[in-house]
Amino acid sequence: MANSKYEYVKNFERENHLLPSCYILIRVDGRGFHKFSAHYEFAKPNDAAALQVMNQAAEQMMRQFPDISVCYGDSDEYSFLLRRNCELFERRESKLTSTFASTFSALYQFYWREVIPEKPLTVERLPTFDARCVVYPNAEIVRDYFRWRQVDCHINNLYNTTFWYLVLHGGMTTKEAENRLIGTLASDKHEILFSQFQLNYNNEPEAYKKGTTICREYSVVDAIEGGMMKMELSERQKQREEKKRKKAKVVVHHTDIINDKFWNERPWLLQ
Ligand code: ATP
Ligand code: ATP
Ligand code: MG
Ligand code: MG
Ligand code: MG
Ligand code: MG
């Protein structure tokens, strides 16, 4: 099989090996989910079942890739953080992005059939996801990355909640609701929801306001004793660490990840 005269074509291939010792962040995002969600008649602003499909797919990603230490998602996107010294696929970018996009797409379709069997997927409208890798040099920037996504979730959810209340309960067309919201601040949207619809936005479900964070949990003592937080490890220690990661509990949170508390309580996530 090897060494045919055609093999030189292989030399045209180029690999981008992502920088060593940096955090790799992979974000997947649904392709055309604005239309996808309309086609499958998602409840607006938040379809609980569709979010459950996203969250179960992400949880399964954590089980299949022990190098993911934490992930965060809302709407049709999920961000996966790989630990700094991860050697998955020799850190080849195209292998990582294509594998994450295709695995997530496959899992989404699997869980869709489980969670929403009453809405069969049709072949012309299958859910697919793109993926990109970003490399971050230090923990503080990684924290800012996750802050950025959660702030985005908050802004979008407040907008969408107000928009859909105006349309579904306020008798406006989508165009009218859009115009009504031009130039409004967060406080204006809270006020519209409260005075027109007696809705206190703060009482909306945490899963919608804060998105979903899934992480591996250890006790801090276990993490330190098990070497989870050391830089230099022997081969045997590495194998033990890998085993621990596979066995660790995977826990789902709908909580604030903008403040330091969440991260300070779980120092192993950013080691
Ligand atoms: P692109 O292919 O560029 O990502 P897109 O149509 O997917 O385009 P996004 O910015 O990713 O655009 O937005 C995703 C859209 O999917 C949201 O605007 C929202 O309307 C819809 N959506 C995703 N999940 C849900 C959900 N659980 N409930 C209701 N709507 C949802
Ligand atoms: P990688 O993840 O690196 O691609 P791999 O195990 O997929 O690893 P490949 O070089 O892609 O390795 O080889 C695919 C293997 O899958 C083949 O060696 C063959 O054994 C098996 N395979 C694929 N399709 C078929 C098929 N239709 N019938 C039998 N075996 C198959
Ligand atoms: Mg987009
Ligand atoms: Mg999308
Ligand atoms: Mg999106
Ligand atoms: Mg293969």
- The answer on whether 102 is annotated among ligand-binding residues is no
CATH code for the domain in which residue 82 is found: 3.30.70.3000
What confidence tier does 226 reach under pLDDT thresholds 50, 70, 90?
low
Domain presence at residue 8: no
Q: For 67-108, how does the pLDDT look when each residue is reduced to its tens digit (9 = 90+)?
A: 999 999 999 999 999 999 999 999 999 999 999 999 999 999
Tally of domains in the chain? 1
Alpha carbon distance 271, 250 (integer Å) = 17
Q: How much distance in Å is there from the Cα of 48 to the middle of ligand 1?
A: 14
Q: Residue 134 pLDDT > 90, yes or no?
A: yes
Q: Residue 227 pLDDT > 70, yes or no?
A: no
* N-term to C-term CA, the chain: 43
Q: State ipTM.
A: 0.92
Q: Which range (1-10, 23-32, 83-92, 129-138) has the least confidence? A: 1-10
Domain presence at residue 4: no
Q: Residue 121 pLDDT > 80, yes or no?
A: yes
* Helix ranges (DSSP H) in the chain: 33-39, 48-64, 93-115, 139-168, 174-181, 186-197, 206-210, 220-225, 235-247, 261-264
Q: How much distance in Å is there from the Cα of 16 to the middle of ligand 4?
A: 25
Alpha carbon distance 212, 146 (integer Å) = 11
* pLDDT value, residue 233: 78
Ligand lying closest to the C-alpha of residue 34 = 1
Q: Which domain holds residue 87?
A: 15-151+212-270
Alpha carbon distance 56, 176 (integer Å) = 36
Domain presence at residue 163: no
From 76, 149, 155, mutation site for ligand 1 pocket: most ligand atoms within 8 A of C-beta: 76
Helix 48-64 with 93-115: angle, nearest 10 deg = 130
Q: What is the mean pLDDT of residues 178-203?
A: 98
Ligand lying closest to the C-alpha of residue 90 = 2
- The answer on whether 94 is annotated among ligand-binding residues is no
Nearest protein Cα to ligand 1, atom 24: 75
* pLDDT value, residue 232: 74
Q: For 137-147, how does the pLDDT look when each residue is reduced to its tens digit (9 = 90+)?
A: 999 999 999 99
Q: How much distance in Å is there from the Cα of 154 to the middle of ligand 2?
A: 44
